[in-house]
Amino acid sequence: MKKFLRIVLLSAGLLIQTGCMTAPLGQGTSARSLGSGKLSFDTNINIYYDPNRDQGTYFPNVQLGYGLNDNLDFLVRTELETATLIPKYSFINASEGFSWAGEVGLSFIGGRTSYMIGTLISAKLRSWEPYLGLRYNVVNFDSTQIDTTYFQMPPDLRFTFFSAIPGFHYWLTPVTAAGAEMVLLPPSDTVQFKRQQLYTVQFKFLF
């Protein structure tokens, strides 16, 4: 429990910085659980390229995880001013081979709460671990904190969109992995994105 509290306190400390005002869009995890009492620490860099300006924008974020039991993980993901709490349950949980999980998320953005529900599959193949996440996102904005980084035009205060997130981890050691993923944003009736892809480079450490 002390480890769990440290996760929450460390994540809260990161909120004093500035950053993207949507929820973190990346996945950052496979369908396998961490295991009871285990910790994870992930560092991620989201890379967004704007072809109109011929320049890239980079957003760092951190994800901390704690295994509440053998199948249930609690994740805290921060992208500076945004904090997202994600319980993830592994329905199929294999140390090697296929795994399947479900997740829900609450994101706190400038005093408003956004929501996410998703499913996630992965396959552990020795050192390689490809995964795919599918999410439905409900975003609530404060009118003074609209983020135009990803949007073609200012969104309504409330909008929804789907996202698909293919990615992989490559395990350098049993407790250290490097990986990458792509966030795919299909067209939405309620918001228009500047670009339909976002890329992430990540490093994962287990304790």
What are the pLDDT digits (tens) for 177-193?
Answer: 999 999 998 888 888 77
Give me the half-sphere count of Cα atoms (radius 13 Å) on the Cβ side of residue 204: 23
Task: Name the token pair of 180.
Answer: 């990458």
Task: Name the token pair of 42.
Answer: 């992930």
* DSSP 8-state class, residue 1: -
Q: Which of 188, 189, 11 is nearest to 84 (CA)?
A: 11
What are the pLDDT digits (tens) for 54-99?
Answer: 667 777 889 999 999 999 999 998 876 778 899 999 999 999 999 9
Backbone angles phi, psi at 79, to 5 degrees: -125, 70
pTM of the full structure: 0.85
> Residues, the chain, total?
207
CB atoms inside a 10 Å sphere around CB 140: 16
SS3 25: coil
What are the pLDDT digits (tens) for 125-158?
Answer: 999 999 999 999 988 876 666 666 666 655 567 8
Contact 207, 40 (CB under 8 A): yes
**Which residue matches tokens 């287990």?**
206
CB atoms inside a 10 Å sphere around CB 78: 23
Q: Which of 128, 181, 184, 187 is nearest to 161 (CA)?
A: 187
Domains defined along the chain, listed by start: 2-206 (2.40.160.20)
